[in-house]
């Protein structure tokens, strides 16, 4: 089953905060993705969920769409394909056109057609995988170190006149200032969770489309609630759109989100209470010993 045109409508009722303040003005700008009916016996086209999407249309009817399912169900593959197809800015060591880990995503992107709201499309937003965050932090620190080395070299160059040195230093100082404004003292000065939230907050823009793959990975439950609050604010007040893959019950509880469950090669809408992650977590917390005694 594919959730979209020609299938039953997506309408998810959540048992967690309902007062989102969303109106029809908050309809997503990326309305969906159409897939060509392309068949191939290689990854990612042989993935069951991708095979089910071929020749079909996957609709995004709300500002927040959450992909849930077991490892290997195809959540990340699908998200990576969308990111490559819309050429999302990647927060990582490389962009989507160069990252070697996105070869499959780029192949999938070739058979995808994004459907945009013609009146609302922007090129703001980003693609973020939790594992890429650490590469990005190293990249920012490397940029700072290189800029500081260039500044030191210019300051030590006695062959330059004060005017020439001043002109040469201007772009370096500007870039260092921009990096300092965006990332404060440096992402490495914070814990992983704090640095992740700092990076996330610094890159949010009104009307952006954000693709997130397991953003909860570096975050404690409390920090996940902080991230959820950030997302709710930018959706409600700035018209942002999120498409997210997650295992976190906290992130799945985003009010009025569309939950799409990937299982057995099918994509189907589900309610919060229907998701296995939720029922397992509730059952475990109610009686941990009942689970642990069988391990």
Q: List pLDDT tens digits, range 136-179.
A: 666 667 777 888 888 899 899 889 898 888 888 888 888 877 66
Burial class (CB in 10 A: 0-12, 13-18, 19+), 127: buried
Q: What is the pLDDT of residue 107?
A: 94
pTM over 0.85: no
CA nearest to 85, candidates 36, 49, 37: 36
For 193, phi and psi rounded to 5 degrees?
-65, -45
- For residue 6, is pLDDT > 80? no
Rounded Cα distance between 116 and 120, Å, is: 8
The answer to which of 12-26, 97-111, 244-258 has the lowest mean pLDDT is: 12-26
Rounded Cα distance between 119 and 196, Å, is: 32
pLDDT in tens, 220-277: 899 999 999 999 999 999 999 999 999 999 999 999 999 999 988 889 999 888 888 8
| Both tokens assigned to 186 | 């440096």
Number of Cβ within 10 Å of residue 73's Cβ equals 22
Average pLDDT, the chain: 82
CATH number of 27-130+209-292: 3.40.50.300
Rounded Cα distance between 68 and 246, Å, is: 6
- For residue 11, is pLDDT > 50? no
For 155, phi and psi rounded to 5 degrees?
-65, -30
Q: Where are the chain's structural domains?
A: 27-130+209-292
Strands 241-245 and 258-263: unpaired
- For residue 217, is pLDDT > 60? yes
């Amino acid at each position: 089953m594919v959730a979209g045109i020609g299938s039953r409508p997506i309408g998810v009722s959540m048992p967690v905060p309902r007062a989102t303040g969303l109106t029809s003005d908050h309809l997503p700008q990326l309305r969906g993705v159409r897939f060509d009916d392309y068949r191939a016996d290689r990854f990612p086209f042989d993935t069951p969920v991708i095979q089910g999407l071929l020749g079909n249309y996957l609709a995004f009817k709300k500002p927040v769409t959450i992909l849930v399912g077991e490892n290997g169900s195809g959540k990340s593959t699908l998200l990576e394909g969308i990111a490559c197809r819309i050429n999302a800015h990647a927060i990582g060591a490389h962009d989507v056109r160069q990252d070697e880990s996105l070869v499959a995503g780029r192949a999938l992107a070739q058979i995808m057609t994004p459907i945009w709201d013609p009146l609302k499309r922007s090129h703001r937003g980003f693609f973020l995988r939790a594992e890429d965050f650490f590469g990005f932090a190293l990249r920012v620190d490397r940029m700072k170190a290189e800029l500081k080395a260039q500044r030191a070299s210019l300051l030590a160059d006695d062959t330059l006149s004060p005017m020439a040195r001043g002109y040469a230093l201007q772009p370096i100082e500007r870039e260092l200032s921009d990096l300092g404004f965006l990332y404060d003292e440096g992402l490495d000065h914070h814990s992983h969770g704090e640095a992740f939230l700092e990076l996330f907050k610094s890159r949010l823009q009104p009307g952006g489309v954000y693709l997130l793959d397991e953003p909860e990975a570096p975050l404690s439950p409390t920090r996940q609630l902080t991230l959820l609050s950030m997302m709710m604010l930018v959706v409600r007040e700035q018209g942002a759109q999120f498409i997210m893959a997650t295992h976190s019950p906290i992130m799945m509880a985003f009010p009025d989100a569309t939950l799409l469950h990937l299982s057995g090669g099918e994509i189907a809408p589900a309610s919060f209470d229907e998701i296995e992650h939720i029922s397992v977590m509730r059952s475990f917390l109610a009686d941990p010993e009942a689970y642990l005694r069988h391990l």
